[in-house]
Amino acid sequence: MLSIIIVLLNLLIETSVSLTVVVPPDPIVAHVGSTVILPCWISPPENAEALEIRWYRQDQFSNPVLLYNQGKIQDVQEESYRNRSSLALRSDQSGGLKDGDVSLRLEKLRVQDGGLFHCYVSGEHSYGSEEMTLKITALGSAPVLSPKSLDGGRVNISCRSSGWYPEPSVSWTSDEGRVLRPGGTSHTRGADEMISVHSWTTVSLSDAQLVSCSVSLRPGELKEGSLDIQGIVSSGPSDSSGLWKALFLTFLICSLLGLFGLILYRYKHKQTDREEETLERLLKAVVEDMNIEELRQHAVEITIDRERSHPDLKVSKDCKIMRDNPEYKPTGEGFPYQLCAYGAQGFTSGRHYWEVQLKLENTPPKNFWMIGVVKEENLPTRDSSALTASAGFWFLCSDGPYGFCTNTDPLIRFSLTPRPERLGVLLDYDHGQLSFYNVTERKHLLTISCRFSGSLVPLFNPGVGDKSPLKILDLPKPAEPDEPSQPLLSNMAAVELDVKASDNL
Ligand SMILES: *[C@@H]1O[C@H](CO)[C@@H](O)[C@H](O)[C@H]1NC(C)=O
Ligand SMILES: *[C@@H]1O[C@H](CO)[C@@H](O)[C@H](O)[C@H]1NC(C)=O
C-alpha cells in the first residue's frame, strides 16, 4: 500500500515539475565578426544552477556548442565553438542562472554559424527544449565605381563591392533619386563564403550628373558609392563656363560637411577639334589660376609630434619623414587608418600651407596615404571608426586599387590621374576650407568645406607597404614678388637632396 502511494506521488511530482523553455519567436540577425546573445529562459522562472543546459546545433546533441552541467561549463564542445561561447544575461535586468536565464553568447561570428540552435534544459525529472534561428549577415565594402566611355555620348559605369553575406541587391540612381536600370548584375562567392557583386549600367551624359550605386542586404543595411560622370568625361558643345561647372563636383553630404571637388580628366575619344581646344584652353586657365607661389605665401613649417605618432611608425630625426615599420603587420583588411602621425603645430585661425612628397626618385608614387587635419582635442585615436568629420577628422586618402576617398558619409570614392607625386595642403581656417593640390601638375584637386573649431593639427598616414616614405617638405620662405618662379626651382633641388637623406630610414 505504502509503495503504491510513493509511486503515485512520484508520478504526480514528475508531471507537475514540467520545464518550459522560451526563446524569441523571430530569428536573431547578426553580422560576421560580431558578438550575439541568443536569449533562452525558463518560464516561470526557476533556478537553473543545478540543471543541465545544453546548446547544440541540428543533430549535434552530443557535440554541443556549450554544455553546462554539475554547476559548471563542461569541456565537451564542438571544436569551432571553443573560446567563442559562454552563458550570458539576456538583458541588464536578468537575474542570470538563478532566475532561469540560460542565454548563449557567441563571439566572433562566422558565416557558418547561421542556422538552427537548440536550447535544451534538463532537470532530474523533466526537460524542456526550444529551437531558434540565427541569421548571419555581412556588410561588404563601399562600392567602387568606374566609368568607361561608349559611343554616342554614353558611359558604361561599373560598380564593384565585396565581403557580403548573403547575396546583396544592387540599385542604381542618378541625380535626385531617379532609378536607373542595371544592364547586368552578377554575384561571385569566395572561398570564405563571402559574396562579391558586380553591376553595370549605361547612362547618357546629357541626362545624368551624379550616378550612385547602392548595394544592400535590407533597408538600412547598405553601402553606397557615387560618381560624377560630368567631371570625368566632358563632351558636347559647351562654352567654358559650362565646362567649368562640369569640372566642379558638388556633393551635398551632411549639414556639417559639404565637399566641392574638382577633378580634371582628359577625354581621349571622339572629341572634335573645337572641344579639344576648349578643354586645352581651360586646362591652361586652371594651371595659370593655380599659382603655387601664392599658396606658398602661407607656407608653415610642419614637424611630426613623435610622442603622439603611432608606435609602428618610423619617424626620422628631423621629424619630417615617416613610414611604416617593415615588421608591422596590420590587423584586419583594408586601409590601415590607425597608423597616424600628427603635426606638432596647431592652428586656430588664418591660412596655412604645407606640401608632402609622395614619390622617391625612380619609384612610382605612393599608393597608400592619408593626409589632412584633425581637431587636436580628439587625439590620439587608435580606432579607425572614429575618423569621421563629426569627430573632427578631414582628409584625402589614397587607398591603392580602391582609388581615392574622403571621410564623407556616404563615402565617395573617385580616381585622380595622374596619381599625385607631391601634394599641397591649404588650411583656410577662417573660411572653413581644406584644399588639396597636385603641386607637380599645378592642379587644384578638391576642397572640403566644413566648420572648424578648436585647434587643428596636420594629419599624416603613410599606409603600409609602399617603397617610398611620406615626407613633409621644407618650403622656401615666401617668395618676393619680383622673382615668382625662382623658389619653385630651388625647392626642386632641395627635394632631391632630401630624398637621399630619407634613404636612412
Ligand atoms: C582557447 O583559449 C586557450 C587559452 O586561452 C588557448 O590555449 C586555445 O588555443 C584556444 N582554443 C581555440 C580553439 O582558439
Ligand atoms: C559594361 O562593362 C561591363 C564590364 O565592366 C561589361 O560586362 C558590359 O558588357 C559593358 N556593357 C556595355 C553595354 O558595354
User: Which bound ligand lies closest to the C-alpha atom of 83?
Assistant: 1
Backbone CA torsion sign across 390, 395, 397, 403 = positive
Max intra-chain CA distance, the chain: 123
82 within ligand 1 shell (Cβ under 6 A): yes
* Residue nearest atom 5 in ligand 2 by C-alpha distance: 158
Q: Which of 150, 198, 200, 227 to mutate for ligand 2's pocket (most ligand atoms within 8 Å of CB)?
A: 200
Task: Give the Å distance between the CA of 240 and the centre of ligand 2.
Answer: 32
Amino acid at position 469, single letter: P
* Residue nearest atom 6 in ligand 2 by C-alpha distance: 200
Q: Residue 351: name the closest of 393, 390, 298 by CA.
A: 298
Task: Give the Å distance between the CA of 82 and the centre of ligand 1.
Answer: 7
What is the structure's pLDDT at 258? 24
What is the per-residue pLDDT across 156-212, written as a single tens digit (0 to 9) for each?
999 999 999 999 999 999 987 889 999 999 999 988 889 999 999 999 888 888 899
Residue 83 Cα: closest atom of ligand 1: 1
**Is residue 344 within 8 Å of residue 374, measured between CB atoms?**
no
Average pLDDT over the chain reads 78
Q: Is 293 exposed, middle or buried (0-12, 13-18, 19+ CB in 10 A)?
A: middle
Residue 79 Cα: closest atom of ligand 1: 13
What is the structure's pLDDT at 478? 65
Task: Give the Å distance between the CA of 212 and the centre of ligand 1.
Answer: 45
Residue 326, SS3 per DSSP? coil
Q: What phi-psi label fits residue 79: left (phi over 0), alpha (psi between -120 and 50 degrees) or beta? A: alpha
What is the structure's pLDDT at 169? 95
Task: Give the Å distance between the CA of 111 and the centre of ligand 1.
Answer: 21
Pocket of ligand 2 (CB under 6 A): 150, 156, 158, 183, 200, 202
Q: Is 406 exposed, middle or buried (0-12, 13-18, 19+ CB in 10 A)?
A: buried
User: Which bound ligand lies closest to the C-alpha atom of 183?
Assistant: 2
75 within ligand 1 shell (Cβ under 6 A): no
Whether pLDDT at 283 is above 90 = no
Burial 454-485 (b: 16+ CB within 10 A, else e): eebbbbbbbbbebebbbbbbbbbeebeeeeee
Using CA atoms, how far apart are residues 320 and 339, in angstroms rounded to an integer? 16
* Residue nearest atom 4 in ligand 1 by C-alpha distance: 83
Whether pLDDT at 403 is above 90 = no
3-state helix, strand, coil in the chain (%, to 5): 20, 40, 45
Amino acid at position 300, single letter: V
**Is residue 180 within 8 Å of residue 143, measured between CB atoms?**
no
User: Which bound ligand lies closest to the C-alpha atom of 82?
Assistant: 1
What are the C-alpha distances in Å from 110 to residues 135, 188, 244, 283?
10, 18, 50, 51
Task: Give the Å distance between the CA of 108 and the centre of ligand 1.
Answer: 14
Q: Is 264 exposed, middle or buried (0-12, 13-18, 19+ CB in 10 A)?
A: buried
Whether pLDDT at 486 is above 50 = no
Q: What is the mean pLDDT of residues 110-122?
A: 95
* Residue nearest atom 8 in ligand 2 by C-alpha distance: 200
* Residue nearest atom 12 in ligand 2 by C-alpha distance: 156
Whether pLDDT at 317 is above 70 = yes
Q: How far apart are the first and last CA of the chain?
A: 96
Using CA atoms, how far apart are residues 392 and 23, in angstroms rounded to an integer? 43
* Residue nearest atom 3 in ligand 2 by C-alpha distance: 200
* Residue nearest atom 7 in ligand 1 by C-alpha distance: 83
- Per cent of the chain over pLDDT 70 is 76
Using CA atoms, how far apart are residues 348 and 396, in angstroms rounded to an integer? 21
Task: Give the Å distance between the CA of 80 and the centre of ligand 1.
Answer: 11
Q: Which of 65, 80, 82 to mutate for ligand 1's pocket (most ligand atoms within 8 Å of CB)?
A: 82
Q: What is the mean pLDDT of residues 55-68?
A: 94
User: Which bound ligand lies closest to the C-alpha atom of 158?
Assistant: 2
What is the per-residue pLDDT across 259-282, written as a single tens digit (0 to 9) for each?
222 222 223 233 333 333 333 333
* Pairwise pLDDT comparison (490 vs 443), residue with the higher score: 443
Task: Give the Å distance between the CA of 156 and the centre of ligand 2.
Answer: 6
Task: Give the Å distance between the CA of 182 and the centre of ligand 2.
Answer: 11
What is the structure's pLDDT at 326? 84
- Per cent of the chain over pLDDT 90 is 44
User: Which bound ligand lies closest to the C-alpha atom of 85?
Assistant: 1
User: Which bound ligand lies closest to the C-alpha atom of 160?
Assistant: 2
User: Which bound ligand lies closest to the C-alpha atom of 77?
Assistant: 1
* Residue nearest atom 10 in ligand 2 by C-alpha distance: 156
* Residue nearest atom 11 in ligand 2 by C-alpha distance: 156
What is the structure's pLDDT at 498? 26
Q: What is the mean pLDDT of residues 71-80?
A: 89
Task: Give the Å distance between the CA of 233 and the centre of ligand 2.
Answer: 17
Q: Which of 149, 155, 156, 196 to mutate for ligand 2's pocket (most ligand atoms within 8 Å of CB)?
A: 156
Element (H, E) at 242: helix 240-247
